[in-house]
A = this chain, B = another copy of it.
């Protein structure tokens, strides 16, 4: 534990605490973890970040399969963490359950939607935490809170016992304070077998992503990755999304014309259907965001689905199994709490952030956010993205490049 220890109460990260002991020994022996509250824990009521959902759904009967994996590998669960309302947000501010503490930037949001899981780890309350990521919900809070976070290859981890959200983009992932812990946890969840690491061939800096970021973030991230790559003798070069996708599409197009339309349509089919049917009690902020979902013309989904598939194929063609793409995880450090008050500010925040998170989204690719940079004392993550199914390579590459420089003690 670091210099300052936070209590569960001080962290505002938890919906409920309990002890669910491990039932087997394994690689996670002695570790504790927390679970985002859209992942079922037997005998507890899943909130999905919504009081209305919590009040109208029964207790879960079983633990989600990913929770069983962790309990069966030596780890014990200490509680369930706050999520953004319906996990449909990237800020980490929840009007019903409160805003989990970002201990490295206490006046700033923690990022969401796996806000409580990131906070619990950053506050040093547990060794690791699990969450879900569809449009950045692990990567963004990892970046804002200055911890390690990984979104693995789409669908490599069972989603049984996780409330359906966006079936074509949602994944289970994890947070930790060190790559060592993150690697152990992810290898359990991914059921990795030992595999030789042959080194990193290329690191490509995705220019479109750097252009979207604040100049200070751009400089900090470039500095971090270039120094480390030089030290390890890895070739770093720049690439634009046009080089990968072809001249018709840049990163903004990938997000706005493909992934985001798919995400919106899938959310309408899952949570949206429930909201509309029961006329659920939602917060004003959510109601505003939800208008886009309600007013989507679903006949436009075909083009978006086609484009997603095309962009996925182009990324597979471009990236070798030992290549990495590097981007800033988020275009800026965490905004101040309650600082986004207008629709325009929200729109700007989401457009910029989701442009960056969209690359791994369309690539169905693993991404790790590394706490390797800061701007004005606020953390911001360096993201490394590997090819679809190259999760084990990515974990090893991140370790080679960034440990122990970015091993940190929790605040």
Interface of A with B (CB < 8 Å)?
A: 23-24, 40, 58-65, 68-69, 71-73, 154-155, 158-161, 164, 166-168, 190-193, 262, 265-266, 268-270, 272-273, 276-277, 298-299, 301-302, 305-306, 308-310, 313
Contacts and interface: CB of A to CB of B under 8 A. Distances in A.
B277 A61 contact: yes
Given A68-B299, A191-B308, 8 more contacts: A40-B269, A62-B269, A63-B298, A65-B266, A72-B299, A72-B302, A155-B155, A161-B269
Contact of A299 (B23, B64, B192, B310): B23
Contacts of A63: 298
A62 B268 contact: yes
B298 A68 contact: yes
A298 B161 CA distance: 13
Nearest to A316: B389
A217 B140 CA distance: 55
Which of A62, A166, A192 has the most chain B CB within a 10 Å cutoff? A62
Contacts of A309: 190-193
**What is the oligomeric copy number?**
2
A91 to B, nearest CB: 24
A123 to B, nearest CB: 29
A22 to B, nearest CB: 10
Contact of A265 (B65, B159, B269, B273): B65
Contacts of A268: 61-62
A250 to B, nearest CB: 20
A60 B24 contact: no
Nearest to A190: B309
A262 B66 CA distance: 12
A301 B60 CA distance: 18
12 contacts: A23-B299, A59-B277, A61-B277, A65-B305, A68-B298, A69-B302, A159-B167, A160-B166, A160-B266, A191-B309, A192-B309, A193-B309
